[in-house]
Amino acid sequence: MTKLSARSEAYLRRYRGWLRMFPNAFRSRFADEMALVLRDQLEDLEERGHAELTRDAYHAALSDIPLNLLQEWLTTPPALSNLGLTGTRAFWYALTFLSLLTVAGAIFQLPAIVAVASITAVISVIGFVWYQTGRVSLTILCLGIMIGGIAAVMSLTAYFPALTPTADEAIWSLVIGYFGAIVPATFYAAWLRLNSAYYSPKLLASLGDEQLRKLEQDNARKRRFAYRGILVTALIILIPNLIALYDPARDLSFISTPEHSVPRQQNAYYKMEAIPLSASEELPTQESENVIEYIEGIRWNPTDTTRILSEAQPTLQALSDANQLAGYQMPGLEFASDNPSQPMPPHAFVDYPRYQRAENLALLSAKKDFLSDNDEAGLKTVEEILQINAKIDASNQPLAYHSFIDAYQLEAAKLLLTVAKDEPASWKAELKQQLPAAKTIWKNGSRALAWDTLDELGSINQGSITNALPLPPYAFQPNRTKYLVAEEAKKLIDQPMTACADMPGSGKPPSGYDMPTLSKYLTYNGFGNEIVASAFFETQYHGNDCNLIGYLGDLGKAIE
Interaction between residue 133 and other proteins (CB under 8 A)? yes
Q: What contacts 81, CB < 8 A, 6 or more positions away?
A: none
Under rule CB under 8 A, residue 26 binds other proteins: yes
Contact 227, 61 (CB under 8 A): no
Among 10, 37, 245, 413, binds other proteins (CB under 8 A): 37
Applying the rule CB under 8 A, the residues between 201 and 220 that interact with other proteins are 201-203, 205
Least distance (Å) between residue 140 CB and other proteins = 17
Q: What length is written for the chain?
A: 560
Nearer to other proteins, 205 or 425 (CB): 205
Report the residue number, 196 or 525, with the smaller CB distance to other proteins: 196
Alpha helices in 395-475 (DSSP H): 402-421, 425-466
Using the Cα atoms of residue 528, residue 529, residue 534 and residue 536 in order, give the sign of their dihedral.
positive
x-marked contacts with other proteins along 172-201 as a string, rule CB under 8 A: ------------------------xx-xxx
Phi, psi dihedrals of residue 341, rounded to the nearest 5°: -90, 0
Rounded distance between C-alpha atoms, residue 281 and residue 181, angstroms: 35
Q: Closest by alpha carbon to 109, among 59, 161, 34?
A: 161
Applying CB under 8 A, among 6, 17, 20, 33 the residue interacting with other proteins is 33
Please state, in angstroms and rounded to a whole number, the distance separating the CA atoms of residues 7 and 137. 32
Nearer to other proteins, 129 or 156 (CB): 129
Contacts of 302-308 with CB under 8 Å at 24 or more apart are: 302/393, 302/394, 302/396, 303/393, 305/389, 305/393, 305/400, 306/389, 306/390, 306/393, 306/394, 308/356, 308/357, 308/360
Considering the rule CB under 8 A, would residue 65 count as an interface residue with other proteins?
yes
Q: Write the DSSP assignment of 42-80 as a string of letters.
A: HHHHHHTT-THHHHHHHHHHHHTHHHHHHHHHHHS--GG
Q: Which stretch binds other proteins (CB under 8 A): 61-69, 106-114, 241-249, 422-430?
A: 61-69
Report the residue number, 63 or 381, with the smaller CB distance to other proteins: 63
Please list every residue from 78 through 117 that binds other proteins, using CB under 8 A: none
Residue 72 in the binding site for other proteins (CB under 8 A): yes
The reply to whether 560 sits near other proteins by the rule CB under 8 A is no
Considering the complex, what minimum distance in angstroms separates the CB of residue 62 from other proteins? Answer: 9
When asked if residue 440 is in the footprint of other proteins (CB under 8 A), the reply is no
Nearer to other proteins, 104 or 190 (CB): 190
Question: Is residue 71 a contact point for other proteins (CB under 8 A)?
Answer: yes
Residue in 9, 32, 304, 321 binding other proteins, rule: CB under 8 A: 32
User: Does 39 sit near other proteins (CB under 8 A)?
Assistant: yes
Q: Is 194 helix (H, G, I), strand (E, B) or coil?
A: helix
By CB atoms closer than 10 A (0-12, 13-18, 19+), residue 97 is exposed
By CB under 8 A, tell whether 60 contacts other proteins: yes
Q: What is the DSSP letter of 398?
A: S
Determine, following the binding rule CB under 8 A, whether residue 63 of this chain makes contact with other proteins.
yes
Q: Summarize as ranges the residues that interact with other proteins (CB under 8 A).
A: 1, 26, 29-30, 32-41, 44, 60-61, 63-65, 67-69, 71-72, 132-133, 196-197, 199-203, 205
